[in-house]
Amino acid sequence: MRRLSVLSVVLAFATLAHGAAYPRDLFVFLAFATIVVTLLLQGLTLPMAARWLRVPPDDPKADALAEAAVQQSASRAARERLEEELSRDGAVPGDVVDRLRTKLDLRTNMAWERLGSRRRETPSETYSRLRAAMLEAEREVFRQARDEGRIPEEVLREAQRDMDLEESLLERKQ
């Protein structure tokens, strides 16, 4: 089969060299056949190759530990950068700085929480569950205000977009 396809390609180029028509159908078939054979061959042999090479499966605990360690380092670097920025620009409101530091702490704590047991809800999961309920209540108030004519449709869409974005971040963290 390989000999036939290589021969077909050589003949196609030889034909092109003598001014004949471009064999588009042949090239489309060859491209399609190459893709299918490659995917099938690699897809069917990859699990066998992994077993033969004795590639160990991923360890979720080791991955979570590595993530938590890197997140700890990243948070430390971010905190140092924040301190550098604050030393240059002393006019930053204190509540903004507190919010940024809290965000760093929460992100680091979430990474370490993934290493814990699954017997009970983690603080991050509790936060996500409660914040999702709060977002639903906010959505209902905005819909009701729109229905009563207190806000235009555009205001509702903008508020829903913001709430949807926050909710998608909550879902991503779970």
Which tens digits make up the pLDDT trace of 37-69? 999 988 899 889 888 999 888 888 888 889 889
User: Of 136, 157, 134, which is closest to residue 146 (Cα–Cα)?
Assistant: 157
Instruction: Please check whether residues 66 and 104 belong to one and the same domain.
Output: yes
Cβ neighbourhood burial of 151 (10 Å; 0-12, 13-18, 19+): middle
Per-residue confidence (pLDDT) for residue 1, from 0 to 100: 47
Note down the domain range covering 149: 120-174
Instruction: Please check whether residues 104 and 135 belong to one and the same domain.
Output: no
Mean pLDDT, all residues of the chain = 84
Domain boundary among 92, 116, 140: 116
Per-residue confidence (pLDDT) for residue 139, from 0 to 100: 95
Instruction: Please check whether residues 43 and 14 belong to one and the same domain.
Output: yes
**What mean pLDDT comes out for the span 101-115?**
84
Is the distance from CB of 33 to CB of 5 less than 8 angstroms?
yes
Instruction: Please check whether residues 130 and 94 belong to one and the same domain.
Output: no
Residue whose entry in the numeric block shows the structure tokens 């963290």 = 173
Portion of the chain with pLDDT greater than 90, in percent: 39
Instruction: Please check whether residues 170 and 131 belong to one and the same domain.
Output: yes
Distances (CA, A) of 101 to 97, 156, 173: 6, 32, 19
Instruction: Please check whether residues 100 and 150 belong to one and the same domain.
Output: no
CB proximity list for 153: less than 8 A, separation 6 or greater: 146
Domain boundary among 37, 52, 67: 52
Instruction: Please check whether residues 125 and 111 belong to one and the same domain.
Output: no
Instruction: Please check whether residues 173 and 149 belong to one and the same domain.
Output: yes
Number of domains in the chain: 3
Instruction: Please check whether residues 69 and 85 belong to one and the same domain.
Output: yes
**In whole angstroms, what separates CA 68 from the centre of its chain?**
18
Domain boundary among 52, 68, 83: 52
Distances (CA, A) of 51 to 45, 46, 59, 61, 102: 10, 9, 16, 22, 45
Instruction: Please check whether residues 105 and 138 belong to one and the same domain.
Output: no
Q: Confidence band (pLDDT; 50, 70, 90) for 8?
A: low
Per-residue confidence (pLDDT) for residue 111, from 0 to 100: 82
Is the distance from CB of 44 to CB of 38 less than 8 angstroms?
no
Instruction: Please check whether residues 124 and 173 belong to one and the same domain.
Output: yes
pLDDT tens digits, 67-94: 889 999 999 999 999 988 888 877 888 8
Helical residues (DSSP H) of 18-53, grouped into ranges: 24-52
pTM above 0.75, yes or no: no
**What mean pLDDT comes out for the span 97-122?**
82
